[in-house]
Amino acid sequence: MIDKILIMNGYGLYVWSAFLFTLISFSLLYVVTKIQHNKEKNKFIAKFGTLSSERAAFAKSQSINKEILSNTSNI
Amino acid sequence: MFKYFEPNKIFSITSRAPKYVLLLFIIILSIGLTEALILSPEDYKQSHSVRIMYVHVPAAWICLGTFSVITFLSLVGYTFKIRNFFLISKSLAPSGFVFSVIALVTGSIWGKPTWGTWWAWDARITSMLILALFYIIYLIAWRIYDNDDKAFKVTSIITILGIINVPIIKYSVDWWNTLHQPASINILSKSSIHISMLYPLLIMTAAFALFSLLIFLMKYNTELIKIKNKGLDRL
């Protein structure tokens, strides 16, 4: 049964390499997008930390900033 | 209803949605892979090599659909000066590009056992390669132009030029003698593909669409944070 699925009448190499290429491309795109997302978020948090208390309070009054700071996005 | 279009509401949705989309994608992909690799029958002519169709065709469909959506949003965005439409287009492009590469590479792998060659300058393959090039040019344009207005203009022109290629890809198999067979699935008329192969194909298409949505949401979030980073610089 396993042999049949792997070898596929001699077409296994073609079929499995096509599926593997697709899954590797998916993984790479996901990882790269995740890294970019985390990089921008860390930059945002770092910049927020350098703001004076007055400016930080003003920035925090914008709800989207609050969202970015509160949401640690566990994707 | 319009309160859901406020940036903080959008961000709230796009930052929470990816984990659910990822979970759904894994479930649908698992079902799709089981169907495509084990349960679906082999073809009487192509034998098991037909299984490559389950990754090749959905990838081609989604990269074509994504480019059409990008063009529509760019045109409407440029005409009515809707900045958010450009942000959506920009966030859709990376997954569209990766799907075009997947369609080309898996098509090439499928070509070897079926046609006896990895590559041919056939109308469908060449026009798909041109689409991948348009994706690359589009993505590079966003990197080159810092000035938003210039980027909006240039990327809109690229999509207008690129969209001319989309009907060429679709109808290339009817207009020219190509190695590709004519379309097996028709929305308006009866499809020639058997139901036992159609189901896995549709399940894999749903999985690919979910992956595209997942990447879009993550990318869109990143773009929103980038804008907010610029806002903090100005404080």
Helix, strand, or coil (residue B140):
helix
For B49, other C-beta atoms within 10 Å of its C-beta total 24
With respect to residue A45, please indicate whether it lies within any of the assigned structural domains: yes
Task: Report the C-alpha gap between A58 and B234 in whole angstroms.
Answer: 12
% of chain B surpassing 70 pLDDT:
92
Higher pLDDT pick, B62 / B148: B62
Between chains, do A48 and B235 touch, taking CB under 8 Å as contact? no
Q: Which long-range contacts (CB under 8 A, 24 or more apart) does B126-131 make?
A: B127/B165, B127/B168, B127/B169, B127/B172, B128/B60, B128/B100, B128/B103, B128/B104, B128/B169, B129/B104, B130/B165, B131/B63, B131/B64, B131/B67, B131/B100, B131/B162, B131/B165, B131/B166, B131/B169
Indicate the number of domains in chain A: 1
Residue type, B45: K
pLDDT score for B235: 61
- Which chain B positions have a beta carbon within 8 Å of A5's beta carbon? 37-38
pLDDT score for B148: 78
Average pLDDT over residues B53-68: 96
Residues from A contacting B (CB-CB < 8 Å) are: 5, 8-9, 11-12, 14-15, 17-19, 21-22, 25-26, 29-30, 33-34, 36-37, 40-41, 43-44, 47-48, 51, 55, 58-59, 62-68, 71, 73-75
Residue B151 has pLDDT above 60, yes or no: yes
pLDDT score for A65: 64
Shortest distance between the Cα of B38 and any Cα of chain A, in A, equals 7
pLDDT score for B11: 77
Cβ contacts below 8 Å, chain A against chain B, sum to 122
pLDDT score for A63: 63
pLDDT score for A47: 79
Task: Report the C-alpha gap between B53 and B197 in whole angstroms.
Answer: 10
Residue A72 has pLDDT above 50, yes or no: no
pLDDT tens track for A14-70: 999 999 999 999 999 999 999 999 999 898 888 777 777 777 666 666 666 666 666
Higher pLDDT pick, A72 / B224: B224
Domain span holding position A13: 2-70
**Residue pair B97/B136 in contact by the 8 Å Cβ criterion:** yes
With respect to residue A62, please indicate whether it lies within any of the assigned structural domains: yes
Between chains, do B113 and A18 touch, taking CB under 8 Å as contact? no
Shortest distance between the Cα of B113 and any Cα of chain A, in A, equals 8
Name, in order, each residue with C-beta under 8 angstroms of B130's C-beta and a sequence gap of 6 or more. B165
Instruction: Pick from B21, B33, B48, B230 the residue to mutate for testing the A interface (most A CBs within 10 Å).
Output: B48
For A23, other C-beta atoms within 10 Å of its C-beta total 14
Give kind and range of the element (H or E) at residue B203.
Answer: helix B195-234
Q: How confident is the model at residue B46 (pLDDT cuts 50, 70, 90)?
A: confident
pLDDT score for A75: 46
Give the range among A56-65, B62-71, B114-123, B211-220 with minimum mean pLDDT.
A56-65
Residue A74 has pLDDT above 60, yes or no: no
For A41, other C-beta atoms within 10 Å of its C-beta total 21
Shortest distance between the Cα of B48 and any Cα of chain A, in A, equals 6
Q: What is each CA distance from A50 to A54, A55, B62, in whole angstroms?
A: 11, 10, 43
Higher pLDDT pick, B109 / B189: B109
Residue B135 has pLDDT above 90, yes or no: yes
Average pLDDT over residues B225-234: 78
A17, A25, A51 member nearest B98 (Cβ): A25
Average pLDDT over residues B133-157: 91
With respect to residue A42, please indicate whether it lies within any of the assigned structural domains: yes
Task: Report the C-alpha gap between B197 and B210 in whole angstroms.
Answer: 20
Q: Tell me the two tokens of residue B76.
A: 């409407």
pLDDT score for B163: 95
User: Is the pTM higher than 0.95?
Assistant: no
Between chains, do B226 and A18 touch, taking CB under 8 Å as contact? no
**Residue pair A40/B219 in contact by the 8 Å Cβ criterion:** no
Higher pLDDT pick, B120 / B94: B94
**Residue pair A65/B228 in contact by the 8 Å Cβ criterion:** yes
With respect to residue A75, please indicate whether it lies within any of the assigned structural domains: no
Task: Report the C-alpha gap between B59 and B133 in whole angstroms.
Answer: 16
Between chains, do A15 and B48 touch, taking CB under 8 Å as contact? yes
What is the rounded average pLDDT for all residues in chain B?
89
Between chains, do B52 and A74 touch, taking CB under 8 Å as contact? no
- Which chain B positions have a beta carbon within 8 Å of A20's beta carbon? none
pLDDT score for A6: 85
Between chains, do A73 and B52 touch, taking CB under 8 Å as contact? no
Average pLDDT over residues A3-21: 91
Residue B2 has pLDDT above 70, yes or no: no
Locate tokens 């929305």: which residue? B187
ipTM: 0.90
